């Protein structure tokens, strides 16, 4: 079976699904293209009715959607509910603002008149990951459906029921057949989709390896793409940080969603004068987390999404230790059913250690001591990634200066409030290109057409 729901809390197979046949895939693409020819002519208000209805359905059925995410990928139930609510908020946000974002913009040439018009490109192929099985879909569906595009979507193989539920949500909200289509397809079939002339753009959220493959294929076809890839975000603690505020954010920033977040705090870079105090308190707070069934409200440490993810993470920690890193705590799987890993802290990570460059997608802390603010910034920038990062200080002006010097797509000062519907999200370097959410997110896959009127004679 190609797509499988396996409960990571106990390893039980919940449901399996076959790949689409190539004939079924071609029929889906034909349906999407036919829908686009009608959808692009609908008014914003008509599209907004559907997106608002979808948002309302998500809010009215939070527990049902959340339970499915918890069963399929082990997200703790309170976090799953939060994701469902936020996904509804994104749909409603674009329903409200899309028309203003894409309104014609008057330009002021030296002679005559000119304006820019925005129009949809067509069928978009979206490849999405398992770690936020609804949010990742909402943040492409909201803006792009409101822009007049239609979507065909390959979701991750371990969350097929969430993928099917989101497609049904939009159909139940009144979306026409073909506006949003879930594709249970293989990686080879993904190539067919990207190569298909009816597909006009490609959006991926996923690993660097997947990004290289998908972006290359899109490039061969001269198709616009956006890539939101991994991260190894720095959590910079300056010597004047308020630890009472910083420590809870450190725990949340590393452990939210089981540490399986692209923009999670992963590299903790702490000035020497405060490092011992920070590390002792951080370790104590992490040790207090309680492993358990993610469906249980009292659980504070859930499973990883799959056994394969756990095995890879354990291998990365072993390689780090063999490379000279010190294992301060954790490093093993938890002795209980399911794909659970101990919360782990690695220190003494030298530049030659694979852990210095790797992204740890789970409950693994990389801890660094530095002597100065400049050294902290240099270490933060010594990364192949550039998604997000944060700086912690009582001096807000100092925090802004540091934030401006870190080479990344997003920086947060004394918070890790990563995602708001109205704020753009994305990175640089190996973290990808393009932006999602906010005004920028809806601009990624629209044609910006210049229209100029000027009464002048042709040159002679």
The pLDDT tens digits of the residues spanning 89-102 come to: 999 999 999 999 99
Given this model, what pLDDT does residue 1 score? Answer: 52
CATH of the domain at 310: 3.40.309.10
Do the domain assignments include residue 316? yes
Q: Which of these is catalytic: 79, 228, 373, 444?
A: 228
Predicted TM-score of the model (pTM): 0.97
72 and 26 part of one domain: yes
Q: Which has the closest alpha carbon to 442: 94, 127, 14, 44? A: 94
225 and 316 part of one domain: no
Given this model, what pLDDT does residue 348 score? Answer: 98
Do the domain assignments include residue 51? yes
114 and 98 part of one domain: yes
Given this model, what pLDDT does residue 164 score? Answer: 98
Question: Catalytic residue at 228?
Answer: yes
173 and 271 part of one domain: no
For 200-209, the pLDDT digits (tens) are 999 999 999 9
Do the domain assignments include residue 262? yes
Do the domain assignments include residue 422? no
Do the domain assignments include residue 459? no
* Low-confidence stretches of the chain (pLDDT beneath 70): 1
Given this model, what pLDDT does residue 38 score? Answer: 98
Given this model, what pLDDT does residue 418 score? Answer: 87
- 87 CA to centre of own chain: 12
Q: Which of these is catalytic: 262, 263, 373, 444?
A: 262
Domain count, the chain: 2
Question: Catalytic residue at 113?
Answer: no
238 and 194 part of one domain: no
161 and 266 part of one domain: no
CATH of the domain at 99: 3.40.605.10
Do the domain assignments include residue 421? no
Tokens at residue 221, please? 């076809």
287 and 390 part of one domain: yes
Given this model, what pLDDT does residue 419 score? Answer: 85
327 and 194 part of one domain: no
338 and 371 part of one domain: yes
222 and 238 part of one domain: no
238 and 217 part of one domain: no
Do the domain assignments include residue 418? no
370 and 239 part of one domain: yes
Given this model, what pLDDT does residue 252 score? Answer: 98
Q: Which domain holds residue 126?
A: 3-229+431-451
């Amino acid at each position: 079976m190609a797509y499988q729901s396996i409960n990571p809390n106990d390893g039980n197979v919940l449901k399996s699904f076959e790949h689409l046949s190539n004939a079924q895939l071609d029929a889906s693409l034909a349906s999407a293209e036919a829908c686009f020819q009608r959808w692009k002519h609908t008014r914003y208000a008509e599209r907004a009715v559907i997106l608002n209805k979808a948002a309302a359905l998500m809010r009215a059925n939070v527990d049902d959607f959340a339970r499915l995410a918890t069963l399929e990928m082990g997200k703790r139930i309170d976090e799953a509910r939060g994701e469902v609510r936020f996904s509804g908020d994104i749909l409603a946000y674009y329903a409200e603002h899309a028309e203003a974002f894409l309104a014609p913009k008057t330009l002021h040439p030296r002679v005559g008149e000119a304006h820019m018009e925005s129009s949809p490109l067509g069928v978009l192929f979206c490849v999405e990951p398992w770690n936020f099985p609804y949010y990742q879909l909402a943040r492409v569906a909201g803006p792009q459906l409101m822009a007049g595009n239609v979507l065909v979507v390959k979701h991750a193989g371990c969350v097929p029921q969430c993928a099917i539920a989101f497609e049904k949500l939009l159909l139940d909200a009144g979306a026409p057949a073909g506006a949003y289509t879930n594709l249970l397809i293989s990686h080879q079939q993904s190539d067919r989709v990207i190569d298909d002339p009816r597909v006009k753009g490609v959006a991926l959220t996923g690993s660097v390896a997947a990004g290289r493959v998908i972006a290359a294929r899109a490039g061969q076809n001269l198709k616009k793409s956006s890539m939101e890839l991994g991260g190894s975000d720095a959590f910079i603690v300056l010597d004047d940080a308020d630890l009472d505020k910083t420590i809870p954010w450190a725990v949340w920033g590393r452990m939210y969603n089981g540490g399986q977040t692209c923009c999670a705090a992963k590299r903790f870079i702490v000035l020497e004068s405060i490092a011992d105090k920070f590390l002792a308190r951080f370790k104590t707070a992490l040790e207090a987390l309680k492993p358990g069934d993610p469906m249980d409200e009292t659980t504070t440490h859930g499973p990883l999404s799959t056994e394969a993810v756990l095995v890879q993470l354990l291998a990365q920690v072993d390689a780090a230790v063999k490379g000279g890193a010190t294992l301060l705590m954790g490093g093993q799987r938890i002795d209980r059913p399911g794909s659970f890993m101990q919360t782990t802290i690695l220190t003494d990570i030298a530049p030659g250690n694979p852990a210095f460059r790797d992204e740890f997608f789970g409950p693994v802390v990389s801890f660094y001591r530095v002597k100065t603010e400049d050294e902290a910034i240099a270490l933060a920038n010594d990364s192949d990634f550039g998604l997000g990062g944060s700086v912690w200080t009582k001096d807000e002006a100092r925090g802004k200066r540091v934030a401006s010097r870190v080479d990344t797509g997003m920086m947060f000062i004394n918070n890790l409030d990563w995602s708001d519907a109205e704020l753009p999200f994305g990175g640089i370097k190996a973290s990808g290109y393009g932006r999602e959410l906010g005004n920028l997110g809806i601009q990624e896959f629209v044609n910006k057409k210049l229209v100029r009127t000027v009464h002048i004679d042709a040159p002679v």
